[in-house]
Amino acid sequence: MNFHQWRKTINTFNKSFEGNNCQAEEWNRNTIDNLPIFNKSNSIWNLQDKYLEDNERAMVLVGSSPCLAEDVDKLKELDENFMIICANSSLRFLLKHGIRPQYVICLDSDVIDIPQHLDCDSTDITLLASSVVCRKAIDNWKGPIWFMPYYSINKDLRRKLRGKLGRKVMGGGNSITQALVVATIIFGSKTVIFVGNEYCLDKSYYADPEAAKQEVLKVLYPVVDVMGRERWTLPALYVYAIWTEKICGDLTPPGFFIDTSFGLLGKDTNAIHNMELGEAIKRVKWAFEQKNLIKQAPNESEKFKILAEISKVTDDNGEVRRYDMQSQRERILQLARS
């Protein structure tokens, strides 16, 4: 994408919101509707540092792009060392294929699409919902809910929301970028795998066309993915890819990020490692096995022996390491406040 195409992309991205002044009103209205159910006990900040140290898990962030159809069955290979956070638009597709995510993330205020996404068998699935999600969708949900305070509302409502849920959660723009913020900055996970997040397309950008309404694609731009294939992207998707890569770059180390979608992620930063999903699962399992061996070692001498063996590994497994996020705590908090 050259400079002129990029400038036109930004203009189109901005203009898409000019005629949608009602969105701010909708966010205010939904926040008012939801205020009675918000309280400190259901704020997502209660989950801060949930997956650190002995409770460490690799977070698998599942979007809904077409490549998910090819990888969905591979998700059955995940074990107790992994947690799935999926976008609301991919939930039904996962359930249809026998995959039950631990978490579903939902940001939008859409009163038409979102409720039908979340009206399903969800008693054992946790919803991570922004404070602006429409009340109908929240009422449809049958499992636990944690709320993310969004501050893009009027000043008076921001004050009330802070009193209910605490400080704001840094906005991600779309479901998976937001899931990345939650997984790293709130949950404290150090290993993240992206699945079904191409940020580019051929004809459609949903694995299941019935899972969400497909907008009329009036403006498309040529792009080349990480495999050198000529494809297309949308202004919003291109921006989300840039934001995602920026976060991954800022969090490396201690974070370790893998993309299995072979779209735009990993083009502009070496913080994202591209590999097949099956290979990613195998390597992360290996890393957790090494961590457990070190933990179970009877003394420091045995720990050093294990570490010495790990250092001899010449394939890419050696890259998947266990970082100490606590040593990076202040930097993580600064990112959360920015």
Is residue 45 very low, low, confident or very high in pLDDT (cuts 50, 70, 90)?
A: very high
pLDDT given at position 2: 47
**pTM of the predicted model, to two decimals?**
0.85
Rg (CA), the chain: 20
Question: What average pLDDT does the chain have?
Answer: 83
Contact 50, 35 (CB under 8 A): no
Q: What pLDDT sits at residue 325? A: 35
* pLDDT at residue 118 in the model: 79
C-alpha 139/C-alpha 164 separation (Å) is 19
Task: Give the position of tokens 């704020």.
Answer: 43
pLDDT digits (tens, 9 = 90+) for 183-213: 999 999 999 999 999 999 987 778 877 766 6
C-alpha triplet 162, 63, 97: angle, nearest 5°? 120
For the stretch 135-191, pLDDT in tens is 988 988 999 999 999 888 899 999 999 999 999 998 777 899 999 999 999 999 999
Q: Which residues contact 42 (CB under 8 A, 6 or more apart)?
A: 145, 146, 147, 165
Question: Is residue 231 classed as helix, strand or coil in its secondary structure?
Answer: strand
Query: Measured between alpha carbons, how far is 102 from 55 in angstroms, rounded to an integer?
Result: 15
**What's residue 318's pLDDT?**
45
CB atoms within 10 A of CB 274: 18
* pLDDT score for 334: 43
Among the listed residues 59, 54, 38, the one whose alpha carbon sits nearest the alpha carbon of residue 102:
59
Residues whose CB falls within 8 Å of the CB of residue 256, separated by 6 or more in sequence, listed in order: 190, 191, 192, 273, 319, 320, 321, 323
Q: Residue 70: enclosing H or E segment and its boundaries?
A: helix 68-71
Q: Given pLDDT bands bounded at 50, 70 and 90, which one contains residue 281?
A: very high
Tell whether the model's pLDDT for residue 215 goes beyond 70.
no
Residue 117's pLDDT is what?
A: 75
The band of 4, judged by pLDDT with boundaries at 50, 70 and 90, is low
